[in-house]
C-alpha cells in the first residue's frame, strides 16, 4: 500500500513539474521551427563559405553554427539574435518565469519580422 501511495505521489509531482515548466514550451517549439526554416532558406540561397574543421570531422551543423556561418558571410544576423532570444526563453521557461519567457519570444519574433 505504501508503494502505491509513493508511486502516486511521485507521478503527481512529475506531472505538476512538467506543466509548470512547459507553459511556454509549445510557443518556443513553434518559433524554433520558424527559425529553422529561415536558416534553411538563407543557407540554400546564400553565398558559399569555406568548409569548417567541424564539417571535415563529419560533425552535423547546429542552428547556431549555421547562423554563425551565415553571419560571417554577411547574412542571417537576425536569425542569430532570434536564436539567442529562444535560448533565453527556454531558460526562463525552465525557471518557471512564464511572463519573461513570453517577452523573450516576443523579442525573437520582432527580430525575425512578419
Report pLDDT digits (tens) over 25-43: 999 999 999 988 887 776 6
Alpha helices in 22-114 (DSSP H): 25-45, 53-56, 63-72, 77-94, 98-112
Are residues 92 and 104 in contact, defined by beta-carbon separation less than 8 angstroms? yes
Q: Is the pLDDT of residue 97 over 80?
A: yes
What does the domain layout of the chain look like in residue ranges?
Answer: 22-112
pTM for the model stands at 0.56
Lookup result for grid cell 513553434: 30
- Distance of alpha carbon 77 from alpha carbon 87, whole angstroms: 16
- Distance of alpha carbon 68 from alpha carbon 55, whole angstroms: 14
- Distance of alpha carbon 67 from alpha carbon 46, whole angstroms: 12
Are residues 83 and 64 in contact, defined by beta-carbon separation less than 8 angstroms? yes
Report which of residues 68 and 84 the model is more confident about: 84
Is 7 in a helix, a strand, or coil? helix
Amino acid at each position: 500500500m505504501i508503494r502505491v501511495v509513493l508511486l502516486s505521489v511521485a507521478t503527481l509531482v512529475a506531472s505538476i513539474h512538467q506543466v509548470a515548466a512547459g507553459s511556454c514550451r509549445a510557443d518556443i517549439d513553434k518559433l524554433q521551427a520558424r527559425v529553422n526554416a529561415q536558416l534553411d532558406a538563407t543557407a540554400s540561397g546564400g553565398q558559399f563559405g569555406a568548409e569548417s574543421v567541424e564539417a571535415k570531422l563529419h560533425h552535423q551543423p547546429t542552428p547556431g553554427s549555421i547562423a554563425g556561418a551565415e553571419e560571417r558571410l554577411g547574412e542571417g544576423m537576425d536569425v542569430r539574435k532570434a536564436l539567442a532570444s529562444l535560448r533565453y526563453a527556454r531558460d526562463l521557461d525552465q525557471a518557471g518565469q512564464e511572463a519573461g519567457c513570453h517577452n523573450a519570444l516576443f523579442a525573437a519574433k520582432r527580430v525575425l519580422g512578419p
